[in-house]
Structure 1
Amino acid sequence: MPERFYLDPYQTTLQTTVIRHDDAGLVLADTLCYPLGGGQPGDTATLTLADGSTLAISDTRRNRETREILHITAADAPRLTAGSAVTLTLDWVRRHRHMRVHTGLHLLSVVIKAGVTGGNLTAEGGRLDFDLPEGMELDKDEIEAGLNALVAQDLAVSIQMTSGEALKARPELIKTMSVTPPLELPEIRLIEIDGVDLQPCGGTHVRRTGEIGRLLVKKIESKGARNKRVVVTLAD
């Protein structure tokens, strides 16, 4: 079953219970928190306990071996007992900015038609690195205008599911040159921006491009003979 942050990335509160809380982190029966991955930071949140006290979640990670989602608490935080009922409240302002930026980076890969060699994002903005022929220049104003034209179209953003085998037959959908999707999986998540883009992605996204708001191209810099880094930020 898809995880809750995929089922509804707009959900902000959740009643759940503690499975385990130790030095590795806090494991909950269910969670809204997106774990660090795909260039997107892990979520932060607040836990409210049955007695009304609160506990801060400073980061969210995934255990690579067990696939458990670990909620990171302060080293000196009290350990919660298994079975304890808690209310999880997502830091929604930060998450929503991640969703806006992440979807904006998909638009950036539409405007600049080249392979992507790397990327990262924060709540303020993000960057993609592009594999471009040596000597090819990018125009900051043209890129910014192209991005904001796509934002203004208020295009629908939706999820499709495919298989690894089906994706192998459509390699043009894989824009990232540095990281290949797990093609051995029976299901792989695709993000579609209506009429302009379809690519595999495990991040969280807004429902429509108009929700991103105005994007600014902060800088363009060379990161090697064929590598150009384009940094974008949210205007607000």
Structure 2
Amino acid sequence: MMGVTEALFREDAYLSTAEGKVTGINDRGGILLDRTNFYATSGGQPGDTGFFERSDGTKIAVAGTITGETKEEIIHLPLPDAVRPEIGETLVLHVDWARRYKLMRMHTACHLLSVVCPYPITGAAVGEDESRVDFDLPDAGVTKEGVTADMMALVAANHPIFTRWITEDELAANPNLVKSKNVRPPAGAGRIRLVCIGEDASVDSQPCGGTHVSETQEVGEIHIGKIEKKGRENRRFRIRFGALPPV
């Protein structure tokens, strides 16, 4: 392991620009920093792209961001032909904000869907234009029109969204906070990050390391484009931006 990266995005998802010092370059050319605002691929949310700016104005294009041996090691992947910075060099880190903000809105929409459909989650993927959440749901019994209306009611209510930290013991005492059927939050760090919706988390609270908007109204207009049957007890809900198209 080459070191621990301070993940600035965990406390401030709106930090589109920051400074970080280069602490290492791995054998594949990945850049490690002491701190970063670039989100690393995890939990179904893609890692950030953007560029680093050197003191002379030279730009280093970042094509992706991933984790290393642990979640605390964040690796920035430059384009193959990009220059490599020097160890100890301070860079200005510019996230592709338009892309990140769409992912923040989409990730938040996935949380709203899990409120409307309170079933065990078997899979999820966040995308810029479409996201999906899979539920352990034997008989759908729900319609895309009904789910869309319920999600948009949460958007319109403009509930606040915030994060708080709990201990692993607190999570163990409240197992229902985990909505995923097969995936548990990583243990060993001593604390778990919760994403909460509503005053005093009255709407929802669940472990999540991703980036989200600060109030539900920012999600904007969304709809369920399709509900697919993926096995006897699995239903896939596809979330898309915009209004539900007329039949």
- Asked if TM exceeds 0.5, the reply is yes
**What SS does the corresponding residue of 2:35 show, helix, strand or coil?**
coil
Paired residue for 1:187?
191
1:6 aligns with 2:10: yes
8 Å contact from structure 1 (residues 163, 185) kept in 2: no
Q: Which amino acid aligns with 1:143?
A: V
Paired residue for 2:177?
173
Which 4+ stretches in 1 moved above 4 angstroms? none
8 Å contact from structure 2 (residues 6, 36) kept in 1: no
* Superposed displacement of residue 157, structure 1: 0.5
**What SS does the corresponding residue of 1:27 show, helix, strand or coil?**
strand
1:111 aligns with 2:108: no
1:144 aligns with 2:148: yes
Paired residue for 1:129?
134
Paired residue for 1:16?
20
Q: Counterparts of 1:52 and 1:167 in 2: how far apart (Å)?
A: 46
**What SS does the corresponding residue of 1:81 show, helix, strand or coil?**
coil
8 Å contact from structure 2 (residues 6, 72) kept in 1: no
1:138-189 Cα offsets, whole Å, 9 max, x none, are: 2110000000000000000011211111111111111101211124442101
Q: Counterparts of 1:208 and 1:65 in 2: how far apart (Å)?
A: 30
8 Å contact from structure 1 (residues 42, 59) kept in 2: yes
**What SS does the corresponding residue of 1:103 show, helix, strand or coil?**
helix
Residues 1:132 and 1:66: Cα distance change in structure 2 (over 3 Å) = closer
1:153 aligns with 2:157: yes
Note the residue ranges of structure 2 that are not aligned, 5 or more in a row.
Answer: none
8 Å contact from structure 2 (residues 17, 95) kept in 1: yes
Q: Which amino acid aligns with 2:150?
A: G
1:225 aligns with 2:229: no
TM (norm. structure 1) is 0.94
Number of residues paired by the alignment?
Answer: 235
Q: Counterparts of 1:90 and 1:161 in 2: how far apart (Å)?
A: 25
Q: Counterparts of 2:185 and 2:130 in 1: how far apart (Å)?
A: 24
Paired residue for 1:234, among 236, 241, 245? 241
Q: Which amino acid aligns with 2:52?
A: L
TM (norm. structure 2) is 0.90
Q: Counterparts of 1:34 and 1:102 in 2: how far apart (Å)?
A: 13
Paired residue for 2:215, among 208, 230, 236? 208
Note the residue ranges of structure 1 that are not aligned, 5 or more in a row.
Answer: none
Moved more, 89-98 or 7-16: 7-16
1:17-45 Cα offsets, whole Å, 9 max, x none, are: 22222424011221110100000000011
Q: Which amino acid aligns with 2:159?
A: L
Q: Counterparts of 1:141 and 1:235 in 2: how far apart (Å)?
A: 13
